[in-house]
């Protein structure tokens, strides 16, 4: 009886576990020799060195429900079997308070420095980078109006839903790479990319294939990023390489990455989304004066676990008046997008002694509670009380 599960040509032995011996550079490079055929991606504006770029026409098309579904299918295909990376030109602009958000993040970093808080970064030497961890919650609490404008963004909701389905969980980290900041080593991202190879090896092949479906990586360029400032380096199509979570650590794969990576200049407001299994690395900032600021969005499937611990009740209490105003303006899409970025959309884990379903399969979620409060015109204090009761029903 075969010990390989599930069966496939060239599958690893040992009951479907990858080892370094399965990592073959020739097989990897053969996968990368794919031309990006724009005919397969009719909503894309252009392909640049294999990377699919979407313009305003795609965003406008997303307002139509049928076109939105087609575009979502296209984005999911691009991330799964296509180049693994899409760029949306100017996805964020002054309608989303882009410039004001950059000023806010700059002020937050200055405050962190002044108090000696934050600053630790597991990817860089001390001082080379500035970070705001859990920027989602800090942004919402510091300036709810700015947060609401930013996260009502429809491109973010479109791509997150296309890849992860509904009930996704947004987290954010602001990353500033200062002049002189050096490049990262090529890697894959969370989940299996964030552990030692010896640990990743203990997960069988099906989990290596599953890991990318649990997360979407996004980055919003908060400022213009010419190549000299070191925007991220990528290898399009590398997410398709099955043993890639082990291969990215190997010298011959690192050398190949060094020689063959793609690097795209970005403009302020451009948003990049990529499959977390794509080989990538932040570039070196060789500019003399550009503090390269990106909002790194790590968006989790409802079925995954995010890296950041986020107090979503606190975000909702802060943002609720903004949601009320947005609902009153008639922007129902913006309301949904903002709820999706703020609230817990999934019902579990919960305390099933206390959290009895009133109908259906589960108790009310934070997102459902928020929609109900908006529909009923609940006052902020009453909404906060209901949120606290929901938190209590979820407490072990
Ligand atoms: Fe990364």
Mean pLDDT of the chain: 93
> How remote is the CA of residue 97 from the centroid of ligand 1, in Å?
26
> How remote is the CA of residue 187 from the centroid of ligand 1, in Å?
6
> How remote is the CA of residue 350 from the centroid of ligand 1, in Å?
31
> How remote is the CA of residue 254 from the centroid of ligand 1, in Å?
15
- Give the pLDDT band of residue 11 (cuts 50, 70, 90): low
Non-local CB neighbours of 146 within 8 Å, separated by 6+ positions: 97, 100, 101, 104, 139
> How remote is the CA of residue 198 from the centroid of ligand 1, in Å?
19
> How remote is the CA of residue 189 from the centroid of ligand 1, in Å?
5
> How remote is the CA of residue 295 from the centroid of ligand 1, in Å?
13
pLDDT at 120: 60
> How remote is the CA of residue 101 from the centroid of ligand 1, in Å?
23
> How remote is the CA of residue 329 from the centroid of ligand 1, in Å?
38
Whose CA is closest to 339, among 323, 318, 321? 323
> How remote is the CA of residue 52 from the centroid of ligand 1, in Å?
19
> How remote is the CA of residue 302 from the centroid of ligand 1, in Å?
21
> How remote is the CA of residue 190 from the centroid of ligand 1, in Å?
8
Residue 9 pLDDT > 70: no
What is d(CA 258, CA 136) in angstroms, rounded to the nearest whole number?
Answer: 33
- Give the pLDDT band of residue 119 (cuts 50, 70, 90): low
pLDDT at 358: 73
> How remote is the CA of residue 123 from the centroid of ligand 1, in Å?
9
Residue 7 pLDDT > 90: no
> How remote is the CA of residue 90 from the centroid of ligand 1, in Å?
22
> How remote is the CA of residue 185 from the centroid of ligand 1, in Å?
9
> How remote is the CA of residue 393 from the centroid of ligand 1, in Å?
36
Residue 89 pLDDT > 80: yes
The per-residue pLDDT for range 292-322, each reduced to its tens digit, is 999 999 999 999 999 999 999 999 999 999 9
The per-residue pLDDT for range 325-378, each reduced to its tens digit, is 999 999 999 999 999 999 999 999 999 999 988 778 889 999 999 999 999 999
Whose CA is closest to 158, among 273, 324, 270? 273
> How remote is the CA of residue 227 from the centroid of ligand 1, in Å?
18
The β-bridge partners of 53 are 46, 87
> How remote is the CA of residue 184 from the centroid of ligand 1, in Å?
9
pLDDT at 115: 87
Surface-to-core class of residue 138, CB atoms within 10 Å of its CB (0-12 exposed, 13-18 middle, 19+ buried): buried
pLDDT at 117: 75
Whose CA is closest to 224, among 173, 132, 172, 289? 289
What is d(CA 30, CA 22) in angstroms, rounded to the nearest whole number?
Answer: 15
> How remote is the CA of residue 188 from the centroid of ligand 1, in Å?
6
What is d(CA 257, CA 233) in angstroms, rounded to the nearest whole number?
Answer: 9
pLDDT at 361: 86
Non-local CB neighbours of 296 within 8 Å, separated by 6+ positions: 172, 173, 174, 175, 217, 218, 219
What is d(CA 261, CA 254) in angstroms, rounded to the nearest whole number?
Answer: 10
> How remote is the CA of residue 213 from the centroid of ligand 1, in Å?
16
Residue 114 pLDDT > 50: yes
pLDDT at 5: 41
> How remote is the CA of residue 372 from the centroid of ligand 1, in Å?
37
C-alpha neighbours within 13 Å on the C-beta side of residue 67: 11
Residue 10 pLDDT > 70: no
The reported pTM is 0.95
What is d(CA 149, CA 334) in angstroms, rounded to the nearest whole number?
Answer: 9
Residue 275 pLDDT > 60: yes
The per-residue pLDDT for range 58-73, each reduced to its tens digit, is 999 999 999 999 999 9
- Tell me what the mean pLDDT of segment 219-228 comes to: 98
- Give the pLDDT band of residue 124 (cuts 50, 70, 90): low
What is d(CA 101, CA 95) in angstroms, rounded to the nearest whole number?
Answer: 11
């Amino acid at each position: 009886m075969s010990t390989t599960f599930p069966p496939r040509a060239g599958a690893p032995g040992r009951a479907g576990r990858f080892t370094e011996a399965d990592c073959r550079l020739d097989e990897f490079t053969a996968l990368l020799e794919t031309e990006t055929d724009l005919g397969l991606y009719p909503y894309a504006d252009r392909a640049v060195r294999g990377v699919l770029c979407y313009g305003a026409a795609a965003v406008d098309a997303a307002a139509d429900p049928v076109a939105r579904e087609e575009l979502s299918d296209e984005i999911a295909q691009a991330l799964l079997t296509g180049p693994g990376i899409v760029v949306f030109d100017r996805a964020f602009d002054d309608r989303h308070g882009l410039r004001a958000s950059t000023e806010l993040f700059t002020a937050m970093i200055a405050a962190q420095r002044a108090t000696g808080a934050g600053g630790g970064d597991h990817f860089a030497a001390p001082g080379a980078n500035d970070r705001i961890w859990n920027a989602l919650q800090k942004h919402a609490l510091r300036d709810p109006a700015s947060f609401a404008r930013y996260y009502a963004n429809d491109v973010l909701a479109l791509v997150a839903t296309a890849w992860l389905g509904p009930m996704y969980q947004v987290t954010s980290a602001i990353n500033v790479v200062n002049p002189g900041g050096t490049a990262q080593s090529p890697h894959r991202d969370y989940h299996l990319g964030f552990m030692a190879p010896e640990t990743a090896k203990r997960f069988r092949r099906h989990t290596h294939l599953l890991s990318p479906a649990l997360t979407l990586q996004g980055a919003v360029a908060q400022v213009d990023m010419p190549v000299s400032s070191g925007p991220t380096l990528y290898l399009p199509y590398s997410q398709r390489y099955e043993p890639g979570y082990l291969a990215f650590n190997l010298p011959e794969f690192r050398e190949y990455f060094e020689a063959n990576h793609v690097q795209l200049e970005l403009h302020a407001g451009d948003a990049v989304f990529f499959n977390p299994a794509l080989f990538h690395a932040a570039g070196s900032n060789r500019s003399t004066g550009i503090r390269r600021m990106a909002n790194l969005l790590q968006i989790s499937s409802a079925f995954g676990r995010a890296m950041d611990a986020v107090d979503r009740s606190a975000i909702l209490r802060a943002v609720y008046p903004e949601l009320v105003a947005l609902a009153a303006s008639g922007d129902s899409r913006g309301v949904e997008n903002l709820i999706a970025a703020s609230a817990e959309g999934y019902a579990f884990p919960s305390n099933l002694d206390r959290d009895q379903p009133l109908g259906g399969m589960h108790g009310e979620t934070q997102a459902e509670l928020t929609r109900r409060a908006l529909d009923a015109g609940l006052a902020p204090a009453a909404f906060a009380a209901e949120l606290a009761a929901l938190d209590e029903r979820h407490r072990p």
